[in-house]
Structure 1
Amino acid sequence: MVHIQSLDPTASPLDYYGWELRRQREAHGLKQGQLGEIIFCTGSLIGQIETTKKVPTRDFSERVDAALGTDGVFSRLIGLVLRSQLPTWFQPHAEMEARATYLSTYQAQLVYGLMQTKEYARAVLATGMPDDLDGLVAARMERQRILDREQPPLTWAILDEAVLLRPIGGHEVMRRQLAHLLEFTRHRWVHVQVLPNSAGEHVGIDGAFTVMRFDDDPDIIYTEDLISGHMTANPETLREASLRYARLQATALSMEESAALIARVMEERYGERSHPEDPAVA
């Protein structure tokens, strides 16, 4: 007799998803392989998702909804599932980020998470040697959906020039990442500025931070250390962060100048005729 793993649907969003997928599949009289054929995947994948050994994707969820006529149940569940894959200490930030109406961030080391390509995100997340890299990458891509809303949060990102020059993931990954940044120049609600190396010492030299503003709740500032993140609504801290951010905006290149620099670095450092070992663009 085949042993069927029993899931507790109250244990986690992922457990509930797997439990509900099995329930709906069996209610339609389908075996795992039969459902796999309908949605163009293997029966083994269906089984892995039903037993929480594999994290589902949004595309998978949409295909299941279409195949089983579940009225968007799995498409709604997937957001919760992917958010649950984020580190526990990061989940409160992701929840607040999703509610914010205005995001302003300074990033000294990396492209802002909401602006990362999938390949860039994978290279960054892999440095932590996670148990489920695919799940973390999917969760980061899911976070970015807030920028595709009909009314997305106004998002202002200041990136240190070093972010452009650090070859995360290699030559081709960085070229595509910088091209992706340039796409935001056509996004009404997203603005990117670059803080040039020529700025020297500056008020953000202590590290990255993000301020989140809301319609009906106090502002929050988010920072990270080596192993965790921290949020506070302390008024004095927020005033200091707002002052520093205003100074960073004044010191950074204009949006037009920033786009020109990004394009130049993309071509001169990561273009088809250049090599990863080329010297940094001045």
Structure 2
Amino acid sequence: MSAREMIDPKASLWSWLAFDLWFYRTQRGMSLAQMGQIVNAARGTVSNWEAGRLRPQDDHMDALDRAWNTGGHFARLLWYARSGHNPDWFKQYVQYEEAAEIIKIYNGRAIPVLIQTEAYAQAVLWSAGRTREVEVESKARMKRQGILKKSDSPHVWVLVDQEALECPVGGREVMRAQMSRLLDIGDNPRLIVRVVPRSAGPHPGHDGTFQTLKVKGREVAYASAQIGGRLIETGDETASLGIKFDQIGALALSRDASRDLIEQTMRTYE
């Protein structure tokens, strides 16, 4: 069974969109290449839309609505898909992460996944009660960090609260190694870690962690939650998170001052 045939239009709004792209095309007796000509996309891209592997953009759906006289059906469906909850959101997020040009991360009380050591990642998972997933999930996190080693690695800007440095996740040895990792990162011109000091007091990040990504000229974001999270693809919400990141950044220490604080904290774990 092909990926397209496995699409259940009732599974999510994105699945419904993928199904309708296939259904409307085949009802008109059109090939993938012919539909691609309408939306100015390659045959393979259209195939990936119908299989749910890639997501179309506004101009693609507008072109289909005009060509097929659907009264804005695809544009509306795309809008609702972006606004609603997608059970497969994390799979899509990782794809965006791999293709990102710029990643901005705010994490409050924990070191972000992309710069965790494996031991720290395992300790976080244990403390979260995810004992059955520790080995597999920690390996998956390390694999995601591969994007930082690419020749065209993204620019990554990280903001963490001072509490993330001081919370003894996994014990002294684990934290000492994690602090060392943060210091090593300082040698990478594409990866900047800055610390929001405790003296900054309450700030806009206290209601949850989030990340924004620039992918092929467009902005997407992820907002965390206690159970799961949410992928955000609407312009207003991503713009709002971008402003929030800048507001938090205005309270953070400089890169050098952050490094000094990390070194100071590392000594407490000796």
Question: Which amino acid in structure 1 is aligned with residue 235 of structure 2?
Answer: P
Deviation at 1:242, TM superposition (A): 1.4
Gaps of 5+ in 1: 1-9, 11-86, 272-282
Structure 1, residues 102-138: CA drift from partner, whole Å, max 9, x if none? 0001100210100000100011122232434211111
Name the structure 1 match of 2:33. none
Name the structure 1 match of 2:269. 270
Structure 1 residues 106 and 99: CA distance shift in structure 2, 3 A: same
Structure 1, residues 211-262: CA drift from partner, whole Å, max 9, x if none? 011124x211101111111011222112211111111111100000000000
Structure 1 residues 172 and 234: CA distance shift in structure 2, 3 A: same
Pairing 1:198-209 to 2, within 5 Å after superposition: 198-209=199-210
Deviation at 1:193, TM superposition (A): 0.2
TM-score normalised over the length of structure 1: 0.63
Q: What's the Cα RMSD here?
A: 1.8
SS in 1 for 2:207: coil
Deviation at 1:175, TM superposition (A): 0.6
Structure 1, residues 156-179: CA drift from partner, whole Å, max 9, x if none? 000000000100001110011011
Percentage of matched positions with identical amino acids: 32
TM-score normalised over the length of structure 2: 0.65
Question: Which amino acid in structure 1 is aligned with residue 252 of structure 2?
Answer: A
Name the structure 2 match of 1:177. 178
Deviation at 1:94, TM superposition (A): 1.4
Deviation at 1:89, TM superposition (A): 5.1
Contact 2:159/2:196 (8 A) holds in 1: yes
CA distance in structure 2 between the partners assigned to 1:88 and 1:139 by the alignment? 16
Pairing 1:1-282 to 2, within 5 Å after superposition: 90-126=90-126, 127-216=128-217, 218-267=218-267, 269-271=268-270
Contact 1:89/1:228 (8 A) holds in 2: no
Structure 1 residues 215 and 88: CA distance shift in structure 2, 3 A: closer
SS in 1 for 2:208: coil
Question: Which amino acid in structure 2 is aligned with residue 215 of structure 1?
Answer: K
CA distance in structure 2 between the partners assigned to 1:205 and 1:129 by the alignment? 24
Contact 2:89/2:231 (8 A) holds in 1: no
SS in 2 for 1:219: strand
SS in 1 for 2:97: helix
CA distance in structure 1 between the partners assigned to 2:141 and 2:192 by the alignment? 20
Contact 1:101/1:215 (8 A) holds in 2: yes
What is the number of residues matched between the two proteins? 185
CA distance in structure 2 between the partners assigned to 1:188 and 1:129 by the alignment? 34
Structure 1 residues 125 and 89: CA distance shift in structure 2, 3 A: farther
Structure 1, residues 5-29: CA drift from partner, whole Å, max 9, x if none? xxxxx9xxxxxxxxxxxxxxxxxxx
SS in 2 for 1:110: coil
